[in-house]
Structure 1
Amino acid sequence: MQTHNLGYPRIGKHRELKKANEQYWAGKIPAHQLEQTARTIRSYNWQLQKQAGIDWIPCNDFSFYDHVLDTCLLTGAIPERYHTLIVDKKLNDLDLAFSMARGYQKEGVDITAMEMTKWLDTNYHYIVPEFKANQKFSFFNQKVVKEFLEANKEGIQAKPVLLGPISFLLLGKEKEANFNRLDLIDNLLPVYLEVLKQLDQHEAYYIQLDEPCLALDLSDRERQTFTKVYQKIKQTLPQLHIILSSYFECYGKNLSTVLSLPVHTIHLDLVRCPAQLDDILATEFTKSRTQLSLGVVDGRNIWKNDFSHSLAIINKAVNALGKERIWIAPSCSLLHSPCDLDLETNEKVLTPEIKQWMAFAKQKLYEVNTLRQLANGNNSSELQAALVQNQQCIANRQTSSLIHNQPVKQRVAAITEKDAQRINSFSLRKEKQHAALGLPLFPTTTIGSFPQTKEVRNWRARWKKAELTDAEYNKLLKDETEKAVRWQEAIGLDVLVHGEFERNDMVEYFGEQLAGFVFTENGWVQSYGSRCVKPPVIYGDVHRPAPMTVAWSSYAQSLTTKWMKGMLTGPVTILQWSFVRNDQPRSETCTQIALAIRDEVVDLEKAGIKIIQIDEPAIREGLPLRKENWQQYLDWAVRAFRVSASGVQDDTQIHTHMCYSEFNDIIQHIADMDADVITIETSRSQMELLDAFAAFQYPNEIGPGVYDIHSPRVPSKAEMVSLMEKARAVVPTEQLWVNPDCGLKTRGWDETKAALEEMVNAAEELRQTVLQIQ
């Protein structure tokens, strides 16, 4: 049996890539120093996998920003607006990629960034390819070949990884009407064949083509395209050994197509869909020569593998196919896992009892190799001891008293439909809220956070090290909060926020105050670009021991006569952006979190906070990949939000925020959440997302984002007015708010101030325009 890995975290075990990228963007280090950091990370990752006993080690899984963006450069799928950077500015490929991801605003040139959205049902964001009719492609960037040769020089048995051509098209967007991006496959495929030929000439033996769209509901045409493309690859390069990889779901109705493709190995995610192995073994596939890669180690969560369970799956496959046709692997790329559990040395943060239940990316590699050896019949005392220890650990977790809290379970069981309903409908609430709040047309606000400067982060670090007392730390935070409030008043924002300077991450902050959560010191995963998050771990039943945000919101409200928003993260997002216990349904855990947030909402209202935002940017992300499973998820996800939001009076206004999501298919369920105001990301898509709300005639109020906070560029007032005019064309004026796309935590103060001042001026111009019309 062979072992292989589908991909490894690219950020570096100490987030070296994040730090180097940000230094490079700030002009503090030259390109060659950034490149050296990247080479060091790649070398470490490769050697680690080799030492762990992985036979075929991925290369080209590294990226400075995003692997889909890399595929755009690989294939020359570079939108026309960036061509001036190639021709006139003569940017190298690295700077071109960063400009496509972050925008470009220098020397009189102002180019917007490409759109960004969620990678399937994960919290990883990818850059969305842009396609036009009859678009031409070319082998523009040699990164995949260079990294394969680099790995070879290090003595690595490397397996190049590429996003497959069909998924590349399907994950993108048409930027012209009346054509289907799949029409471009005949233009794109020759480029892929050229790339594969070059890799073949350099003696790449196995090549992994990731086709995650095979986990989706595909049309007959799309399935036929898979057949056509992979037959063409086989005809052109019959000697190549293609590993076809999909993940996060079963192949479902695409299975017969997949089994017919002329590839060497088919990868199965047997964590998310264990049943598909039985489906395959019940077909004529058993008589073929195609090999199966069994993804039995969970690449998306941090729980230790249950060896007995995995061995049962492996042995079933071996009995049907023979050992020579079986590969052992993680379920998906380990990009979604933290790097190394060995870095968690602080027992006050992560106790030994809970730590023993976990495995990060490095540990998962060793799990893969151990499973291979056990399945191969290696009965060494060392391996048998590992098996015994594994089973003891699994049993310990199942019976631990840390996990279960009966009052929490009883409270969940006692929820009624009334608990998930506001007192009156939105049409009645709206009148009460308008009377109570007295806001103008086009009310302005921000999504919550303000820049977390180096000073603010340094205060937190010093406080955690006890170098600052609680009183000293709180004084610094109060001063920073007051400065933010005064500045917001000065520029004329209508609804203020306190800035969240006391918070680290929008999920971690709440998890630290909720029972049933535990944390790591180095459990970082990439969210997008240089943005890394450290997800909390939900290991047990969740409840709120004490108020979490009331003191800071009340303090901020005391500083101003304007309305101050209370800022909370919603139950679905806390669930999605955590590593979740896998011993009970996710819906049960989500409802426990919803009750904890409900308690906080009620306490905020009692403290005089009349506008409360419950962010749910992950609700679309959590949608199952297949439509047949949507309804069940949406039922419990929407109910959880409503439970969290429905404990208040009619004149308290509930906001929610969503970003980087497509809403067309679930717009009814967004409406069913019954938030009084929804703010959404729309600037990168030029307000395209509003079409779904307009077609549905969404009844509640909407704040379409008027500028992209993930780019350092500062938009003009005219640009924001233009976007809002697009919004006014499809949404009634009285329903519209004006706000940025998302929170401003990762931005600098100079650009934040400049952009928000332009935004307030844009809102004022819009009001004047409406007054003139009236």
Structure 2
Amino acid sequence: MKTLINKRLLPTSTAGSLPKPAWLAEPEKLWSPWKLEGNELTEGKQDALRISLQEQKLAGIDIVSDGEQTRQHFVTTFIEHLNGVDFENRKTVKIRDRYDASVPTVVGPVSRQKSVFVEDAKFLRQQTTQPIKWALPGPMTMIDTLYDDHYKSREKLAWEFAKILNQEAKELEAVGVDIIQFDEPAFNVFFDDVNEWGIACLERAIEGLKCETAVHICYGYGIKANTDWKKTLGTEWRQYEEAFPKLQKSNIDIISLECHNSHVPMELLELIRGKKVMVGAIDVATNKIETPEEVADTLRKALQFVDADKLYPCTNCGMTPLSRQVARGKLSALSAGADIIRKELAAK
């Protein structure tokens, strides 16, 4: 599997979500409710997945995904399928110390009755021969999207989720997923927890996997709560400095991060030298479509600190809150920018 992904220099991919069609869910909105029910919803999700895949292919994306068309939200859709979580009994919590959200409550031991995404991943695998990536929420981001009334310990709950995620990941690998990505935006917030047990929990989630594994750490979707937070971070965003040294020593294969239009100093990538890096070269917090040259410029800067055979051009985060037209333009720009750099490297 790993050789298949590495055949092309600078293989492009997305961080995860892509906009949903208007007939499936309300566009440009997080947590948007489904517009269909029952069998129609199942078919609608599969149709949306096919469209999302086709748009990635037309844009020239190398490592494709489901565009998260089959889930309402990147964290809660996974949690919905677990025992021990009550979605009727909701509490308001502050997510990533940033914004209030109404979330379900952990009321008993958490466990997974059956696979959550395996049928969807199998369906994606049937549609394409390209390498496929599947995103799962990371343990720390999961506990940050819940109210815990049972374990009363962030760490204990995270370890339980890590075990459940490992079961799911092994089944995804078995149906042909090439890269399993764990989304951990919480790694940019809870630095002490990350280093004390967060990375260890993540390694528990990937235990025994033979496919490639990735962790995606960003500054969030392009929603107001996140863009307002970014304005408070000053001219240099050095949050990655906290987790990178330990991640560099971890068993995770790929680190996915936000670079374009951010104030992340590019030299921080030196801290993960040796790892494969999904470099976010597309800003998801603006409707302005990057030019291929802007993408290429971000990649050139990253190449000072990441070896070319380990650089994977990517988006900063998911694109659910954007229009489909804007997302299409951004995917095409990502491919075209990567192509500019491939030609430059070939000329050398």
Instruction: Give 1:583 deviation, angstroms.
Output: 4.8
Secondary structure in structure 1 of the residue aligned to 2:290: coil
Name the stretch that deviates more: 635-644 or 547-556.
635-644
Q: What is residue 608 of structure 1 aligned with on the other side?
A: 176
Residue from 685, 692, 697 that aligns with 2:268: 692
Q: Quote the offset at 1:755 in angstroms.
A: 1.0
Matched, 1:472 2:47: no
Match of 1:481 in 2: 49
Aligned to 1:669: 246
Does the 8 Å contact 1:520/1:534 carry over to 2? no
Q: Contact conserved, 2:125 with 2:175, CA < 8 A, in 1?
A: no
Tell me what 1:413 maps to.
none
Match for residue 584 of structure 1 among 134, 152, 163: 152
Distance in 1 between the 2:162 and 2:272 partners?
28
C-alpha deviations, 1:703-729, integer Å up to 9, x for none?
121121022221111111111111112
Residue aligning to 2:217: 658
1:679 and 2:268 equivalent?
A: no
Residue 570 of structure 1, CA deviation: 1.0
Q: In the alignment, which of 595, 598, 601 is matched to residue 166 of structure 2?
A: 598
Identify the residue that residue 279 of structure 2 maps to in structure 1: 704
Secondary structure, aligned partner of 2:244? helix
Determine the C-alpha separation between the residues in 1 that align with 2:315 and 2:89. Answer: 31
Distance in 2 (CA, whole Å) between partners of 1:561 and 1:697 is 31
Structure number with higher helix proportion: 1
Tell me the secondary structure at the aligned position of residue 186 of structure 2: coil
Structure 1 residues 457 and 566 mapped into 2: Cα distance closer, same or farther (>3 Å)? same
Name 1:305's counterpart in structure 2: none
Specify the code of the residue in structure 2 equivalent to 1:646: E
Q: Are the structure 2 counterparts of residues 682 and 580 from structure 1 closer, same or farther at C-alpha, using a change threshold of 3 Å?
A: farther
Note if contact 1:641-1:673 (Cα within 8 Å) is conserved in structure 2: no
Distance 1:675 1:734, change over 3 A: same
Q: 1:732 to 1:709 in 2, by over 3 A?
A: same
1:665/1:619 CA distance change after superposition, 3 Å = closer
- CA shift digits 1:502-525 (9 cap, x unpaired): 211111111101112122598677
Output one character per residue of 1:325-381: Cα deviation in whole Å (capped at 9) or x when no partner: xxxxxxxxxxxxxxxxxxxxxxxxxxxxxxxxxxxxxxxxxxxxxxxxxxxxxxxxx
Structure 2: 5+ residue stretches without partners: 27-31, 220-237
Q: Kindly tell me: are residues 519 and 479 of structure 1, through their superposed partners in 2, closer, same or farther at Cα, counting changes over 3 Å?
A: same
Matched, 1:456 2:24: yes
Q: For 1:750, which of 315, 325, 335 is the aligned residue?
A: 325
Whether the 8 Å contact between 1:655 and 1:679 is mirrored in structure 2 is: yes
Q: Does 1:491 align with 2:59?
A: yes
Indicate the SS of the match to 2:180: strand
Aligned CA-pair RMSD: 2.5
SS state at 1:501 partner: coil
Match of 2:206 in 1: 645
Letter in 2 for 1:729: Q
Q: How many residues align?
A: 324
Instruction: Give the number of the structure with larger relative contact order, counting CA–CA contacts within 8 Å between residues 6 or more apart.
Output: 2
Shift of 1:526: 7.7
Identify if the C-alpha distance between structure 1 residues 737 and 532 changes in structure 2 by more than 3 Å, giving closer, same or farther: farther
Instruction: State the identity as a percent.
Output: 21
Tell whether 2:347 aligns with 1:772: yes
Please give the secondary structure, in 2, of the residue aligned with 1:498.
coil
More moved, 732-741 vs 575-584: 575-584
Q: Quick one: structure 1 residues 641 and 770, their matched pair in 2 at CA, closer, same or farther if it must change by over 3 Å?
A: same
Partner of 1:735: 310
Verify: 1:620 aligned to 2:188, yes or no.
Answer: yes
Q: State the Cα distance separating 1:693 from its structure 2 match.
A: 2.5
User: Against the structure 1 CA distance between its residues 439 and 687, is the aligned structure 2 distance closer, same or farther, given a 3 Å change threshold?
Assistant: farther
Give, in angstroms, the shift of residue 546 of structure 1: 0.7
**Structure 2 letter corresponding to 1:610:** D
Deviation sequence 1:146-203 (CA, Å, 0-9, x none):
xxxxxxxxxxxxxxxxxxxxxxxxxxxxxxxxxxxxxxxxxxxxxxxxxxxxxxxxxx
State the distance in 2 between where 1:707 and 1:739 align.
7
**C-alpha contact (below 8 Å) 2:281/2:316 kept by paired residues:** yes
Kindly provide the CA deviation profile for residues 537-580 of structure 1, in whole angstroms up to 9, marking residues without a partner as x: 22322111110011111101111111121221111110122223
Q: CA deviation at 1:453?
A: 4.5
The aligned amino acid for 1:643 is R
Aligned to 1:559: 127
The 5 A counterparts of 1:429-444 are: 433=2, 435-444=3-12
Q: 1:657 to 1:502 in 2, by over 3 A?
A: same
Q: TM-score, normalised by structure 2?
A: 0.86
Q: Cα offset for 1:462?
A: 4.3
After superposition, residues 136-155 of structure 1 pair within 5 angstroms as none
Amino acid across the alignment from 1:760: S
Residue matched to 1:550 = 118
Report deviation, 1:452: 3.1
Q: Please state whether the residue corresponding to 1:746 is helix, strand or coil.
A: coil
Partner residue of 2:142? 574
CA contact (8 A) 1:512 1:519 kept: yes
1:706 touches 1:720 (CA, 8 Å); kept in 2? yes
Deviation at 1:647, TM superposition (A): 2.2
For 2:160 and 2:282, how far apart are their aligned partners in 1?
35
CA contact (8 A) 1:744 1:752 kept: yes
1:537 alignment partner, one of 105, 113, 134: 105
Letter in 1 for 2:279: P
Normalized per residue, the structure richer in strand is 2
Aligned counterpart, 1:516: 84
Counterpart contact for 1:444–1:738, Cα < 8 Å: yes
Instruction: Call closer, same or farther: CA 1:461–1:767 in 2, change over 3 Å.
Output: closer
Please tell me whether the aligned partners of residues 20 and 48 of structure 2 are also in contact (alpha carbons under 8 angstroms): no
CA distance in 2, matches of 1:587, 1:542: 14
In structure 2, do the counterparts of structure 1 residues 697 and 610 end up closer, same or farther at CA, with 3 Å as the change threshold? closer
Query: Match of 1:601, SS?
Result: helix
3-state SS in 2 of match to 1:669: helix
Q: Kindly tell me: are residues 532 and 717 of structure 1, through their superposed partners in 2, closer, same or farther at Cα, counting changes over 3 Å?
A: farther
Structure-1-length-normalised TM-score: 0.40
Map 1:5-16; keep pairs closer than 5 Å.
none
What's the counterpart of residue 298 of structure 2?
723
Q: Report the AA paired with residue 658 of structure 1.
A: I
CA distance in 2, matches of 1:510, 1:678: 22
**Structure 2 residue matching 1:741: 3-state secondary structure:** coil
Secondary structure of residue in 1 paired with 2:322: coil
Structure 1 gap ranges (5+): 1-431, 625-629
